[in-house]
């Protein structure tokens, strides 16, 4: 069958869709947290269809549907699964498949989102819950309209093993598929459209952005009480305490029931912790033990294969969601549990069900694999929503369309540089990533890792295996406390950045390439609109930092750095390099008064920051119960604080301005 031109329909402002045959298999965006945020999309800058329509085609080839999209020689392609070593996926082949990351950017990863964002200012999503193979500018066709030059290796110095292709080719098991194109004009606009079309980004509860600590595998309630007391004695804050598999009576497979010996009175423990401002988060994986009370009810609703001898319930079935949901609500949510860590939904072939496994919903094993983490995020988020409580948790496997779910992706890999690259790349895909801290080979490494995690969506020590504590390396305890303290101070800024994720789709953590495609760094990133974070790695005394156009100031002392595209910094062990855009305004919490903010202005330029606040815990903001305050500085350092919306009790009443840069 010959290639057919795709027919594009505009679904919302700047979002187009084409369908090849009628799709009966599950689509990723059907699992999104909410419907497209049409109103927000309509306020974005106008965008025309970004591709040459006649060059967007599909073809049915040997049981596969193949798509082809035009590609210019200078385009860079970001995204294509959560990558940990690469920024630009161009010139590679990605087999996007749910898996634990195996050390190679080949498409097998914790978030195998079939989405690419072009430096040309648009994005393409293959909205299918299947393994998607993307030839990102590698497949050169004989009938190419812009063929690469034929070179001779014997004579031409610029001969390359990868002649430039004029197309992206995408193949997946056929015959149907739906594709979406998100317009720009900038790459960041395209990402924003994708996030908004998925319902907008998540807004975590305020406590979720505090400090987290996960305790060792087999901790008992007595161990937990001791750990909490230790935190207090050492003067470290703790907002969330995570329990690992030992809280359950059986794990791998799981019962989701409290172990009667280690946790005889979970309700009392939960209450005690909440009274100290500490929330519990529970580890689980989705494989149901024969010992679980809910096993028999789930047995007829499960797939054909077991994982760790446990059921794999088919959560596409409402009955299955109901069984797990009822048990979780009764035994966990009702006593105050704040959320979950959804482990092992990402794969490793030898553990998971095979692609030929069957499921009662009729979804194939491959489809369930690509979406299992999404189903669980949906189920658990909705459970909390029914109680009008926000949750925040972790998930090890997710996919496109998940921006609205309050879950942060993590991994068993542990390379610090890869972790930061993951943080940069997560922003393209509408997912959140944490470079969680477990152990370290030296005090220096410990501190460097803690500094980075404090500038991420989830500031957490995962001591499940190592039993580490923030003070595990006494020689840097004081600097660790400072890093955690800085995160706490930046919370009003970070919370407002998340509000932007929700309301206008801007990812709170994102690669420099979304500021300027020329900035190819994978070891520095933006947190919110004004703060540039450049982590240090063990063994490094100094590093280079790429600065986007405009002037930048040092966060700590407000000094403007040289007006250059690149600077070298030697920050010392105690500090993580941070830079603020000229005119940047950062609202910082103060230590003594929770209603007071220190509002810092950096550089010499004018600037505006929209401070968001609400009750921090419920979904009432969706009904409009939130406040917006415009913090503005005009040319002659005239600072104003203008309430632009007041629809909830105000969190902040005092604003103390501080001009960080000397005139």
Contact residues: ligand GAL, CB under 6 A:
244-245, 283, 343-344, 412, 462, 464
Question: Measured from the CB atom, is 186 or 462 closer to ligand GAL?
Answer: 462
Task: State the nearest-atom distance from the C-beta of 422 to ligand GAL, in Å.
Answer: 14
Cβ(380)–Cβ(393) below 8 Å: yes
- Residue written as token pair 């161009």: 90
CB under 8 Å to 434, separation ≥6 — which residues? 394, 408, 409, 410, 453, 456, 457, 458, 459, 460
Residue 166 phi/psi, 5-degree rounding, is -100, 20
Question: Measured from the CB atom, is 467 or 616 closer to ligand GAL?
Answer: 467
Task: State the nearest-atom distance from the C-beta of 461 to ligand GAL, in Å.
Answer: 11
Question: Measured from the CB atom, is 244 or 614 closer to ligand GAL?
Answer: 244
Task: State the nearest-atom distance from the C-beta of 444 to ligand GAL, in Å.
Answer: 24
Task: State the nearest-atom distance from the C-beta of 341 to ligand GAL, in Å.
Answer: 7
Instruction: Report the phi/psi class of residue 235: left, alpha or beta, with left for phi > 0 and alpha for psi in -120 to 50.
Output: left
Question: Measured from the CB atom, is 124 or 243 closer to ligand GAL?
Answer: 243
> Percentage helix, strand, coil, to 5, in the chain?
25, 25, 50
Whether the upstream peptide bond of residue 175 has omega within 30° of 0, thus cis, is yes
Coil, strand, or helix at residue 645?
strand
- Residue written as token pair 């004029």: 166
The distance in angstroms from the start CA to the end CA of the chain is: 69
Cβ(109)–Cβ(412) below 8 Å: no
Q: DSSP letters of 537-580?
A: -TT-S-EEEE--SS-EEETTT-PBPPSSSEEEE---TT---EEE
Q: What is the Cβ-side half-sphere exposure of residue 85, based on CA atoms within 13 angstroms?
A: 13
Task: State the nearest-atom distance from the C-beta of 301 to ligand GAL, in Å.
Answer: 25
Task: State the nearest-atom distance from the C-beta of 466 to ligand GAL, in Å.
Answer: 11
Question: By C-alpha distance, which of 517, 519, 548 is closest to 531?
Answer: 548
Question: Measured from the CB atom, is 67 or 460 closer to ligand GAL?
Answer: 460
Question: Measured from the CB atom, is 375 or 464 closer to ligand GAL?
Answer: 464
Question: Measured from the CB atom, is 98 or 567 closer to ligand GAL?
Answer: 98
Q: What is the Cβ-side half-sphere exposure of residue 589, based on CA atoms within 13 angstroms?
A: 22
* Rounded Cα gap, residues 487 and 434, in angstroms: 14
By DSSP bridging, strand 432-433 and strand 407-409 are parallel
Cβ(598)–Cβ(592) below 8 Å: no
Task: State the nearest-atom distance from the C-beta of 409 to ligand GAL, in Å.
Answer: 11
Task: State the nearest-atom distance from the C-beta of 215 to ligand GAL, in Å.
Answer: 11
- Residue written as token pair 């003067």: 235
Task: State the nearest-atom distance from the C-beta of 82 to ligand GAL, in Å.
Answer: 15
Question: Measured from the CB atom, is 251 or 371 closer to ligand GAL?
Answer: 251
Question: By C-alpha distance, which of 203, 584, 126 is closest to 390?
Answer: 203
Task: State the nearest-atom distance from the C-beta of 141 to ligand GAL, in Å.
Answer: 42
Question: Measured from the CB atom, is 289 or 462 closer to ligand GAL?
Answer: 462
Task: State the nearest-atom distance from the C-beta of 98 to ligand GAL, in Å.
Answer: 15
Q: Where are the alpha helices (DSSP H) in 176-294?
A: 187-197, 221-234, 266-275
* Rounded Cα gap, residues 1 and 73, in angstroms: 29
Question: By C-alpha distance, which of 266, 262, 292 is closest to 280?
Answer: 266
Question: Measured from the CB atom, is 169 or 344 closer to ligand GAL?
Answer: 344
Question: Measured from the CB atom, is 246 or 427 closer to ligand GAL?
Answer: 246
Task: State the nearest-atom distance from the C-beta of 285 to ligand GAL, in Å.
Answer: 8
Task: State the nearest-atom distance from the C-beta of 258 to ligand GAL, in Å.
Answer: 17
Radius of gyration (C-alpha) of the chain in whole angstroms: 25
Task: State the nearest-atom distance from the C-beta of 394 to ligand GAL, in Å.
Answer: 8
Coil, strand, or helix at residue 61?
strand
Question: Measured from the CB atom, is 185 or 216 closer to ligand GAL?
Answer: 216
Question: Measured from the CB atom, is 283 or 579 closer to ligand GAL?
Answer: 283
Q: DSSP letters of 107-150?
A: SEES----EEEETTTEEEEE--SS-EEEEES----TT-SSPPPP
What is the number of other CB atoms lying within 10 angstroms of the CB of residue 559?
A: 13
Between the CA of residue 127 and those of 96, 116, 117, what are the distances in Å?
A: 12, 12, 14
What token pair was written down for 641?
């604080």
Cβ(522)–Cβ(420) below 8 Å: yes
For residue 65, give the DSSP letter: E
Question: Measured from the CB atom, is 217 or 274 closer to ligand GAL?
Answer: 217
Question: Measured from the CB atom, is 67 or 394 closer to ligand GAL?
Answer: 394
Q: DSSP letters of 467-478?
A: ---TTSSGGGHH
Task: State the nearest-atom distance from the C-beta of 343 to ligand GAL, in Å.
Answer: 5
* Rounded Cα gap, residues 428 and 150, in angstroms: 34
Question: Measured from the CB atom, is 364 or 472 closer to ligand GAL?
Answer: 472
Task: State the nearest-atom distance from the C-beta of 149 to ligand GAL, in Å.
Answer: 48
Length of the chain: 663
């Amino acid at each position: 069958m010959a290639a057919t031109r795709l027919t594009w329909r505009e679904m919302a402002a700047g979002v187009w869709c084409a369908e090849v045959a009628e799709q009966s298999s599950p689509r990723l965006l059907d699992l999104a947290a909410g419907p497209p945020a049409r109103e927000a999309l309509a306020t974005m800058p106008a965008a025309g269809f970004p591709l040459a329509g006649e060059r967007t085609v599909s073809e049915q080839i040997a049981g596969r549907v193949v798509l082809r999209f035009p590609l210019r020689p200078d385009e860079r392609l970001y995204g294509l699964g959560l990558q940990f070593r690469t920024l630009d996926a161009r010139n590679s082949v990605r087999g996007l498949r749910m898996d634990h990351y195996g050390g190679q950017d080949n498409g097998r990863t914790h978030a195998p989102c079939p989405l690419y964002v072009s430096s040309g200012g648009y994005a393409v999503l293959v909205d299918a819950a299947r393994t998607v193979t993307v030839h990102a500018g590698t497949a050169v066709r004989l009938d190419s309209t812009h063929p690469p030059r034929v070179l001779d290796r014997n004579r031409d110095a610029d001969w390359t093993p990868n002649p430039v292709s004029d197309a992206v080719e995408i193949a997946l098991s056929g015959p149907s598929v739906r594709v979406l194109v998100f317009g720009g004009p900038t790459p960041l606009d395209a990402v924003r459209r994708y996030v908004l079309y998925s319902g907008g980004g998540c807004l975590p509860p305020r406590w979720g952005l505090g400090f987290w600590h996960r305790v060792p595998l087999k901790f008992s309630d007595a161990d937990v009480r001791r750990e909490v007391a230790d935190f207090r004695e050492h003067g470290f804050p703790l907002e969330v305490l995570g329990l690992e598999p030992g809280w359950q009576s059986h794990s791998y497979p799981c019962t989701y029931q409290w172990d009667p010996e280690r946790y005889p009175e979970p309700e009392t423990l939960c209450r005690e912790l909440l009274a100290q401002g500490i929330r519990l988060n529970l580890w689980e994986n989705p494989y149901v033990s024969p010992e679980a009370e809910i096993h028999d009810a789930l047995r007829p609703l499960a797939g054909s294969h077991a994982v760790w001898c446990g059921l794999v319930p088919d959560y596409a079935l409402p009955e299955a969601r109901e069984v797990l949901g009822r048990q979780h609500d009764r035994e966990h949510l009702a006593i105050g549990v704040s959320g979950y860590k959804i482990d092992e939904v990402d794969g490793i072939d030898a553990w998971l069900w095979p692609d030929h496994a069957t499921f009662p919903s009729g979804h194939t094993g491959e489809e369930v694999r690509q979406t299992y983490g999404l189903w669980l995020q949906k189920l658990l988020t909705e459970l909390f929503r029914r109680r009008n409580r926000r949750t925040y948790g972790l998930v090890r496997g997710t996919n496109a369309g998940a921006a609205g779910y309050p879950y942060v992706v993590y991994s068993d890999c542990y390379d610090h540089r890869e972790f930061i690259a993951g943080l940069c790349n997560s922003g393209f895909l509408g997912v959140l990533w944490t470079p969680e801290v477990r152990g370290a080979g030296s005090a220096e490494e410990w501190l460097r890792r803690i500094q980075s995690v404090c500038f991420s969506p989830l500031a957490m020590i995962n001591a499940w295996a190592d039993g580490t504590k923030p003070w595990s390396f006494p020689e840097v305890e004081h600097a660790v406390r400072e890093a955690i303290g800085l995160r706490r101070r930046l919370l009003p800024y970070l919370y407002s950045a998340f509000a932007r994720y929700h309301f206008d789709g801007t990812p709170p953590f994102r690669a420099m390439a979304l500021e300027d495609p020329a900035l190819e760094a994978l070891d520095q990133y933006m947190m919110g609109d004004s703060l540039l974070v450049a982590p240090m790695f063990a063994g490094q005394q100094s590093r280079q930092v790429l600065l986007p156009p405009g002037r930048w100031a040092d966060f700590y002392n407000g000094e403007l750095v040289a007006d250059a595209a690149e600077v070298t910094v030697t920050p010392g062990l105690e500090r993580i390099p941070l830079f603020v855009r000229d005119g940047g305004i950062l609202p910082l919490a103060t230590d003594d008064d929770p209603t007071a903010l220190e509002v810092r202005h950096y550089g010499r330029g004018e600037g505006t920051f929209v401070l968001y606040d609400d009750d921090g815990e419920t979904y009432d903001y969706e009904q409009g119960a939130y406040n917006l305050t415009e913090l503005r500085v005009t040319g002659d350092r005239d600072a104003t604080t203008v309430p632009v919306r007041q629809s909830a009790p105000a969190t902040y009443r005092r604003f103390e301005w501080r001009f960080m840069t000397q005139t």
